[in-house]
Amino acid sequence: MECPDLSLPPKPPRIGVFDSGLGGVSVLRALRAARPDADLIYAADSGHAPYGERDAGHVLARSEVLTEHLLAEGAELLVIACNTATAVAAAALRARHPDLGIVGVEPGLKPALAASPGGRIGVMATQATLGSPKFRRLLDELLAGAPAGTRIHLQACPGLAAAIEAGEPDSPAVRAAVAPHAAALRAHGVDTVVLGCTHYPFAAGPIAEALGPGVRLIDTAEAVARQASRRIGARPPADAGASGGLALWTSGVPDTLARFVARGLGLPALPVRRLPR
């Protein structure tokens, strides 16, 4: 039996990340900050975006395709960087891949309750996320332990993820998509708003402006990155200066993902390969 060469540095962990499109880049950014040593493989399913406006069967089927692709690319941990896919497909993926660590995202209701000065919380998300049994259980658990008088307004945001998916989060189209949803939240007097779709942090500026001063936005990307970091284990001290790679895949337009990642992560444009459709 051959002994391993202990002089070789350990291989970097490989984390596979997928989203319905560009939104998961917000989680990708947090992952690179939390674990710069890790190799990241990102799959943007922009050719099928947004998942929040697709039926559950379609979301589940695409989630399975993307998971198999990321595993074939060597992923040791899977991050579902999409609230809708987490709500619809996470349980099925865990059952199908019991030995694979899977980290999902969900709307940050608990952080919002902790941050809200008046217990008036809004949740911006897709209808698919808000209507899922997983989210309803999360909401019921939160309300069961919440202080009396806590009010949570659920705001489905059709069209917003699709507008952001075009690749210009500060565009007039995005601002127009934000406006009616922000108006509904203002009418309910919310003081804290959960961004319940990974696309939405990229429109945080227009959302904050439309909501007005004094409304706090809650994004869970950093919490997801910390959880993923814990799942892949501690970073070796000898590896402190290492920098992992980043591989990009899309079922949409490669140049759009390349520009979005370059802007969102502060990197030069990277090559993007095509996903199986």
Is 126 known to sit in a ligand binding site?
no
Domains of the chain, CATH where assigned: 14-105+222-274 (3.40.50.1860), 109-219 (3.40.50.1860)
Is 69 known to sit in a ligand binding site?
no
> At residue 18, what are phi and psi to the nearest 5 degrees?
-135, 155
Would you please indicate which residues are annotated as catalytic (active-site) residues? Answer: 82, 197
Assigned token pair, 32: 């690179």
Are 223 and 108 spatial neighbours (Cβ–Cβ below 8 Å)?
yes
pLDDT at 213: 94
Give all strands (DSSP E) within 118-168, no chain letters: 120-125, 151-156
Q: What pLDDT, in 10s, does the model give residues 208-222?
A: 999 999 999 999 999
Region class of 119: left (phi > 0), else alpha (psi between -120 and 50), else beta:
left
For residue 55, pLDDT beyond 60 = yes
pLDDT at 269: 86
Percentage of residues in the chain having pLDDT higher than 70: 93
Q: Can you tell me the mean pLDDT for 118-133?
A: 96
Q: What pLDDT, in 10s, does the model give residues 67-92?
A: 999 999 999 999 999 999 999 999 99
pLDDT at 4: 53
CA pair distance 207, 117, nearest whole angstrom: 20
Assigned token pair, 259: 């520009």
CA pair distance 197, 160, nearest whole angstrom: 10
Are 19 and 27 spatial neighbours (Cβ–Cβ below 8 Å)?
yes
For residue 166, pLDDT beyond 90 = no
Is 51 known to sit in a ligand binding site?
yes
State the pairing for strand pair 246-250/192-195.
Answer: unpaired
Q: Given pLDDT bands bounded at 50, 70 and 90, which one contains residue 26?
A: very high
Is 20 known to sit in a ligand binding site?
yes
CA pair distance 195, 120, nearest whole angstrom: 15
3-state secondary structure at position 64? helix
For residue 191, pLDDT beyond 60 = yes
Percentage of residues in the chain having pLDDT higher than 90: 85
Is 5 known to sit in a ligand binding site?
no
Q: Look at 8 and 159; give whichever has higher pLDDT.
A: 159
Q: What is the pTM of this model?
A: 0.91
